[in-house]
Amino acid sequence: MAKKNKPAAPPSAASQDKPATLKDLLNPDVVSKLKAQADQMKAEAEVQREEARKQAEAARKAEQKRLDNNFEYLLNNSGMDWKKYK
């Protein structure tokens, strides 16, 4: 039996057969606006996270200040053995 030669497929045809993406279909101006909006939203989310972190830090400091003024708390949490000083 004789071998049949198969025709080689051109590689450029495979790249042209790829399905069109949304980026290809949209106007470049629209794509740039969407990217700018996404960057802005990320920046706003970062600012919100930073503000939440600052508020939590302020709340921790306020609680620690309140506890530092509480003599019972300080006495219970001191490392000294007060029985030695009776």
Output the pLDDT for position 56.
97
Identify which of 13, 25, 84, 50 has the alpha carbon closest to the alpha carbon of residue 34: 25
Q: What is the mean pLDDT of residues 13-27?
A: 72
CA distance 57 to 64: 11
Provide DSSP, 30-60. HHHHHHHHHHHHHHHHHHHHHHHHHHHHHHH
Q: What is the pLDDT of residue 82?
A: 63
- State how far the Cα of 86 lies from the Cα of 71, in Å rounded to an integer: 18
19-29 b/e with 16+ CB inside 10 Å = b? eeeeeeeeeee
pLDDT in tens, 60-73: 999 999 988 888 88
* Whether residue 16 has pLDDT greater than 70: no
